[in-house]
Amino acid sequence: MDERKQRKLGRRRVLKGLAAGTAAAAVPTILLRKASAQQERTLRIVQWKHFVPDYDRWFTGFAQQFGEKNKCTVNVDYVATPDLPTAIAADISRGGGHDVFHLNGVGAWLYDQVLVDVSDVATRLEKEYGPWIKESESIGKVRGKWLAIPSWYISYPLIINTGYFKEAGETYTDKTSWQDLIKIGAKLKKAGHPFGIPVSNTPDANDDLLPWMWAFDALTFDKDGKVSFKRKEIVEWLRHAKEFYDQTMTEEVLGWDDSSNNRFIASGKGAMICNPISAYRTAAKDNPETFKNLIIVKTPLGPKGRFNGARTMSYGLYAMDGPDFLKGFEASTGYNHPFLRAFLKKPMPVIGNEPKLQLLQDFQEDVHFIGYPGPMTKTATSMYAKFIMPTMLAEVCKGKNPRQAMEEAEQKLRGV
């Protein structure tokens, strides 16, 4: 047996031993390299730095308790969103460092050459806590094997200021469409309260724009994950989105980062954003008067129905049972949404007990992930990382012909 196979098998035994006896083992992203756990019984984890500090505090405690239970040391390094890809790439390049990585917004396909097969863990989780919500396999399964286990996702509903809608004589319902919002938003923008959806090189732009495109059948992939532009539909969506931009938003959205929309709605300026509930929580803390008028609503309807956006999270937890997941969900103040249906029992922690957030308990019924209607392939992930779709729309908003912008975006994607 060659050295690489020996390392692989040794690593696998250690991880299985550490997970033994637990109710569920969520081991999504174990990277094959010089495994410190083999030699020192120390696990080194790179973890995404959460928008909700209480979740990081909870996770630190969880990691410590796990280490005590399994007689090992668990070290957690919290890394901000922009630095995660660099941290992962550096460890892979040098073949050592951390053992487990939290993947923010990407799945197994991007790192399929260095991930451990955890199909046995996925099967065990599904049996005990499943089934998985739809499209979970598109994130973690590559060529028939589970190489990452989706742990939770961030929902992207609409957050609206009902006070401004009421002043304009408008209401938002479950029947409101994207086209309806153009009419409503034009009135609100004229009153000094525009809408805000980022059209910039920031992750939130991807998470907002992709489901908006899908609602118009403006697809860029087929069900097998191959690049397949629906050109007519994409051009039609671009024309619609350009009208939406002109009528309801201001040019500031062309330069937004992920925190801009939070400030926009919390400040009292904005009438509507599409964002996780972090913006809702920010307003509650920073501007209670504005917060009183904020509600969470379903995303608008498009010609093809309702499509919810989400950012997926796969990260290394070696032993997380049901109560532990729900404790983490509570620590995140309802930010983290589960992939396993056993954790969706109503009322869910936090959001099931807050009237304005209860509709998020059904968010998974309309949610789709990067690469839809296919899996989250390397190409789809690269499209996300390179902001190909936000750039395409931004160019149209600045005056470029929609068909030209679409053709340039397709060329970029086929060149990935």
Segment 94-105, tens digit of pLDDT: 877 787 888 888
Nearest to 394 by CA among 376, 408, 380: 408
Distance, C-alpha 250 to centroid of its chain: 26
Distance CA 344, CA 136 (A): 15
The residue that leads in pLDDT, 70 or 350, is 350
Nearest to 347 by CA among 336, 358, 356: 358
pLDDT band at 6 (very low <50, low <70, confident <90, very high): very low
Residues written for the chain = 416
For tokens 């902001």, the residue is: 387
**CA 293 vs CA 50, 148, 288, 361: distances in Å:** 26, 40, 9, 21
Mean pLDDT in the chain?
88
Query: What is the mean pLDDT of the segment spanning 211-225?
Result: 98
Question: Using one digit for the tens of pLDDT, what is the confidence trace for 279-323?
Answer: 999 999 999 999 999 999 999 999 999 999 999 988 433 334 456
Token digits of residue 19:
């997970």
pLDDT band at 82 (very low <50, low <70, confident <90, very high): confident
Least confident of 35-49, 181-195, 331-345: 35-49
pLDDT of residue 369: 96
Helix (H) or strand (E) run with residue 167 in it: helix 162-167
Token digits of residue 46:
């790179």
pLDDT at 141 over 60: yes
Question: Using one digit for the tens of pLDDT, what is the confidence trace for 49-63?
Answer: 998 899 999 999 999
pLDDT of residue 40: 59
By the 8 A CB rule, do 228 and 222 touch? yes
Query: What is the mean pLDDT of the segment spanning 152-181?
Result: 97
Sign, CA dihedral 361-364-365-367, equals: positive
